[in-house]
Every structure is written in structure tokens, then in C-alpha cells.
Chain A
Amino acid sequence: DTEVTQTPKHLVMGMTNKKSLKCEQHMGHRAMYWYKQKAKKPPELMFVYSYEKLSINESVPSRFSPECPNSSLLNLHLHALQPEDSALYLCASSQDGTETQYFGPGTRLLVL
């Protein structure tokens, strides 16, 4: 089973709202990733968690706050977003940092 699940599939939020994106995998992977993908662009890495610790933050604004409560779950907390943050947010996981990344279906976020 190489499934990564993400909820919700779609999210619409105002600039003053607080919301969270959720990602889950049950493959025993120890590295998890958040990517942002704008239309007609490749995914851009935002954060990497390795063994439940944040190991990479690609200079992402603080209005995005990742959290890894356990080895199977990864959250992305959103607060005071801007319309330009509207995008497809992809989660991925890998066995460890060296292995192939498996992607979830994404959450399509629209900020009004």
C-alpha cells in the first residue's frame, strides 16, 4: 500500500480565517513533506519532517505552520493567508530521507 491521504480535498477560506490541512500515511515512512503547487508550475518544497522533527523549512512565511504529531500524521496550519497563497498543497512521504517520495492527491486551497 503506497497511499498518502489528504483532507480536505478542497478548501475555501478568508484572509482572517484559521484552517488546517491534514496528511496521513500508514506505510511506516519516517519522512514527510509539504509542497505548494501553483497552476501550470512544478511543486515547490515547503517543509520536510524527518523522524517527526522539522528538518527543512524553505523560508516559508510564518502564516504557514507545520506540525507532525506522530510518525503517520502531518498537519499544515494556515492563518492570515493571502490570495496569492491559493494553490494545490501536496503532501508526500518517504521511507526515510533517501527514498522515493509518494504523493497524496492534494488539497486545493482558495483564499478569498
Chain B
Amino acid sequence: AQSVTQPDIHITVSEGASLELRCNYSYGATPYLFWYVQSPGQGLQLLLKYFSGDTLVQGIKGFEAEFKRSQSSFNLRKPSVHWSDAAEYFCAVGESGGYQKVTFGTGTKLQVIP
């Protein structure tokens, strides 16, 4: 069965600093990988996704993620964090080959300090 691990429950960064959120997945075949962001009490917004091709994926709001098959990782990065980036971030893996089930990690809460 597929699974996702986000080892950092809570991360605090200063505004303007760089950010990296870690995500490790477990899946037998080539996965579909996603990063979603959720502000308090809101739905999930898709930041970026990886299905195949270039392993460095660009997303919205200046985020990018890199797929590393050898490390089973899909870490999210941003060079300069803004206060509005404070939110919960979920990494997710979907089964490839046309199935609908997406499994979410437990999330990383990002706090941004001035």
C-alpha cells in the first residue's frame, strides 16, 4: 500500500528565509505526487504536482519541488518565504495507472515570524 511521511510536524522560519518541507513516499511503481496547502478552516489548494518527466516541478506562489526516485522523496522548496505562506502543507501520493485513491501525509504546519 502507498504511504507518505512528512517528518516535520511544525516548522518555523523567518520571513525572507528559504524553506524546505520534507516528504518521503512509499509506492511500488511510479507515483503521482502532489503538494497541497491549507489555510485554517479552508479547503486544500494545489501547489504543484509530479506525474512524469522533468523531476524539478514548478508550482504556484513561487514553490517548487524535486522528485528524487533514489531517495523516495518529493521535497517542497521556496527561496524566500512570505508571511502569507503560513499554513498547513500536505504532501500526497496517488496511485498511477488510472486509479483514484490519493493518500495524504500528516501535514507540516509552517509558522512564519517577522
Please give the residue numbers on chain A whose beta carbons come within 8 Å of chain B beta carbons, in ascending order. 4, 6, 31, 33, 40-43, 45, 48, 50, 55-56, 88, 90, 92, 94, 97-98, 100-106, 108
Pairwise interchain contact A43-B104, C-beta atoms closer than 8 A: yes
When chains A and B are docked, how far (Å) is the Cα of A35 from the Cα of B74?
Answer: 23
Pairwise interchain contact B41-A102, C-beta atoms closer than 8 A: no
Pairwise interchain contact A56-B100, C-beta atoms closer than 8 A: yes
B102 within 8 A of A: yes
The residues in B between 59 and 114 inclusive whose CB is less than 8 angstroms from any CB of A are: 90, 98-102, 104-107
Partner of A43, one of B44, B98, B101: B44
A103-B90 in contact given A42-B104, A42-B105, A55-B100 (Cβ < 8 Å): no
When chains A and B are docked, how far (Å) is the Cα of A102 from the Cα of B43?
Answer: 9
| 26 A/B residue pairs, CB under 8 Å, sorted by A | A6-B43, A33-B100, A41-B107, A42-B90, A42-B105, A42-B106, A42-B107, A43-B90, A45-B101, A50-B100, A55-B100, A92-B44, A94-B100, A97-B98, A97-B100, A98-B98, A100-B34, A100-B46, A101-B46, A101-B102, A102-B46, A103-B45, A103-B46, A104-B43, A106-B41, A106-B42
Supplied contacts A6-B43, A97-B98, 9 more A-B pairs, CB within 8 Å? A31-B100, A43-B44, A55-B100, A56-B101, A102-B46, A103-B45, A105-B42, A106-B41, A106-B43
Please give the residue numbers on chain B whose beta carbons come within 8 Å of chain A beta carbons, in ascending order. 34, 36, 41-46, 49, 90, 98-102, 104-107
Distance of A3 from chain B, by nearest CB (Å): 10
When chains A and B are docked, how far (Å) is the Cα of A88 from the Cα of B88?
Answer: 15
Distance of A29 from chain B, by nearest CB (Å): 12
Contacts of A6 in B (CB 8 A): 43
When chains A and B are docked, how far (Å) is the Cα of A41 from the Cα of B106?
Answer: 6
Contacts of B104 in A (CB 8 A): 42-43
When chains A and B are docked, how far (Å) is the Cα of A33 from the Cα of B45?
Answer: 15
Pairwise interchain contact A45-B42, C-beta atoms closer than 8 A: no
